[in-house]
Amino acid sequence: MGRRPAFDAPSVVTAARDRFWQNGFDETSLPDLEQATGLSRSSIYHAFGSKRGLFDAAVADYLACVVAPRLTLLSGPDGVDAYFASLARDIASSGTQRRGCLLITTAATSAAHDETLAVVVNAYREALTEAIGGALTARGDADVETRSRILVTMSVGALLQARVDRTEALAVIDAARMLARGWTSSVTAL
């Protein structure tokens, strides 16, 4: 029987997730991870196999703790507005950190040359598109497929922009909310 780790694995994964979220996979070094997690390089390798193994655990944690709760906001006819309101709150309250989205940051950097990461990022985009489509369908919108794509693109743009200019990211979110509300008005006017 092997030794049990002398650390709290969920806390380590969360600390690593936050560091990857802030810096991206490529820009996060092993010394960064040692500092963030409090583990030595050998402990990281023993527990996770590699920096990539720790990143994969961090992405799984991000999907469970950040993405899944956001996607649940998209249930029902008020889901689109609730989702974008949640994004706005998260971006506005992120203090001095300009993190945006771990998966969007990964898509903009590492996913271009890593097929496994590209699959994860595309699955996220598809899940978001489906969830937004479900919310639009619940409120009776027309052309749900096109409108879902537009709102996903605005969401991705805002999350990417949040890493550079929080004010602009919030403006994009406001525009998405106004656009979606306009669609609701046109649906109810019919």
Whether residues 140 and 176 share a domain: the answer is yes
Amino acid 20 reads F
pTM, 2 dp: 0.86
Whether residues 111 and 58 share a domain: the answer is no
Whether residues 157 and 79 share a domain: the answer is yes
Residue 47 and residue 45: Cα distance in Å, rounded? 6
Whether residues 79 and 121 share a domain: the answer is yes
Q: Which band of pLDDT confidence, cut at 50, 70 and 90, is reported for residue 93?
A: confident
- Host domain of residue 87: 73-184
Whether residues 43 and 90 share a domain: the answer is no
Question: With 60 as the cut, is the pLDDT of residue 10 above it?
Answer: yes
Whether residues 58 and 94 share a domain: the answer is no
How many structural domains comprise the chain? 2
Whether residues 96 and 35 share a domain: the answer is no
Question: With 90 as the cut, is the pLDDT of residue 115 above it?
Answer: no
pLDDT of 120-175, one tens digit each? 889 999 999 999 999 999 999 999 999 999 999 999 999 999 999 999 999 999 99
Question: With 90 as the cut, is the pLDDT of residue 74 above it?
Answer: yes
